[in-house]
Amino acid sequence: MMLLAILLSSGPLTLPREDRGTVTVTGRSLADTRRDLENCLAQQCPPKDEIARSLAYAEAQFLMGDYRGGRKTMLIARRRNARYASELPEDVSDLHYATGRFANLVGNPDSNRLSMFDAVDALKAGLPDTDSRVMQQRLAIGDGFAINGQLYAALSQYGSVARKAHSVGLTSIEGMAQFKAAVLLAAVASSVPEFAIDARRKADAILANDDPAFLPYRNGVRMLRARLVRKSERDAAIAEVIKEMEPMPGIDQALIYNPPIRLDDISFGAVPGDATPWADVNFWVTADGRVSDISTVRQSEDMNKAWLKPVVRALETRRYLPNPNSTGVMHMERISFIADLTESPRSRIRTRETKRRVDIVDLLAQPSNKRQESTPALHTPVTPPA
C-alpha cells in the first residue's frame, strides 16, 4: 500500500541521502476504494461522487497492475455518467480521459484517441471552446496521434491549438503547443535526420519569444537543441545548455534531458495473451542533476528483466537541473511494455503486435488536477511534459 499512499501525497518525496532506508507511508487499500465505490452505488450517490470514487478505485487497480480491471471500472462509470457533461464538464472529461489511458495501456491506442475526443466534447458541453481546459485536452488528442505514430495529424493538432491560443491571449497554452510540436519533431529527427531542420526551426521560434509564460518552454528547447547534436558532442552541449538555463522559480531540478528508449534490439517473442508487463523503477536525482541508484521496486510476474536494460540505460543518461542545495530527490516511475492490437490484412481478427512500446508514468508527480488528489496518469494533464 506504500505506492498508493505515495501516489496520493501532495508532491514528490524528498529524503536526505543519509536517510535512504525504509520509507513507511500509510494509505488506503484497493479493498477500501472498492468498498467506497460499492457503498456509493448502493446509496445512489450523486454523479460527482460516483465519478470520484470510480477514479480512485481505478487508480488503485492501475497501481496493482490490473489494467484490464481498471478499464472495466472506467467503462462502467462512463456509461452511467457521461450524460452529465453539461453539469460536470471537468469531472466527465476526467472520466473519458482515464478510460482512454487504460485503453492505451491494454494496447488499444485507437480507443484512447477516441476517448480524448470525448473528453474535449465533455468540456465543451459546459465550457466555451476558448477555455484553457478545452485547449489542454485538445493537446492530449495530439499526444494520442503521436503515440499512434501519426506525425502529421499530431503536428496539425498542436498547430491548431497554438494558433487559437495566440488569438485569445492564452500565451502559456500557445507555448505548450509549440513545445510539444518541437519535442515530437526532435524525437523523429533522432531516427530520421531530415526532420532536424524542422525541429530546430520550431525551437528557434520558441527561443525568440521573450514572454514570461514561455520561460519553461525556452529552457526546454535549449535542451532539445543539445539533443540534436552528434552523440559524441552531446555531453559538452548539455553542459553548455545548463549554463544558459533561465531560473525557474518554484521548480526544483526539472527534467531537462530525457533520451529515447531504444527497443530495436530487444526480442520480445510471442505475446502472452492480453498482458501488459510492468515494473516500478526507483531512482535518485543527485545535486548535480544526474541519476543514481536505479532499482526495481516491484514488477509483474510476466516481466522480463532483459526488457528493462534499455530503460535503465536511458535513465542513466537523463539530466535534471542541478541544485547544489539538494540532498537527493527520489523518483519512482511505472514502466509498461505494451503490445498493440492490430488487424491482419488477411483477416478481421485482431492480433497483438510482436513489438512493444513503452509507456512511462511518474508515480511521485504532484497531481496536475488540484480538484482531486490522484494520479496525473488518469487525469487531464494541465502541465507541460518535462
122, burial (CB in 10 Å: exposed 0-12, middle 13-18, buried 19+): buried
pLDDT tens-place string over residues 167-186? 999 999 999 999 999 999 98
Q: What is the pLDDT of residue 234?
A: 80
268, burial (CB in 10 Å: exposed 0-12, middle 13-18, buried 19+): middle
Closest of 252, 202, 232 to residue 14, by C-alpha: 252
Geometric angle at alpha carbon 297, from 293 and 303, rounded to 5°: 115
pLDDT tens-place string over residues 31-83? 999 999 999 999 999 999 999 999 999 999 999 999 999 999 999 999 999 99
Q: What is the pLDDT of residue 385?
A: 33
Question: What are the angstrom distances between the C-alpha of 229 and each of 46, 236, 249, 264, 333?
Answer: 55, 10, 29, 21, 28
| 9 compared with 295, residue with greater pLDDT | 295
Pairing of β 350-352 and β 357-362: unpaired
Are residues 364 and 330 in contact, defined by beta-carbon separation less than 8 angstroms? yes
Q: What pTM, to 2 d.p., does this model score?
A: 0.81
Q: What is the pLDDT of residue 386?
A: 32
Q: How far apart are CA 181 and CA 156, in angstroms?
A: 9
pLDDT of 384 higher than 60: no
pLDDT tens-place string over residues 192-243? 888 889 998 999 999 999 999 999 899 888 888 777 777 788 888 888 888 8
Pairing of β 278-285 and β 329-338: antiparallel
Q: What is the pLDDT of residue 192?
A: 86
Q: How far apart are CA 174 and CA 133, in angstroms?
A: 13
DSSP letters spanning 68-128: HHHHHHHHHHHHHHGGGTTT-HHHHHHHHHHHHHHHHHTT-HHHHHHHHHHHHHHHHHHS-
Residue 310 three-state SS = helix
Q: What is the pLDDT of residue 346?
A: 67
What are the grid coordinates assigned to 226, written together?
543539445
Q: How far apart are CA 275 and CA 37, in angstroms?
A: 26
Residue type, 362: D
Mean pLDDT value across residues 146-158: 90
Confidence of residue 279 (pLDDT cuts 50, 70, 90): very high
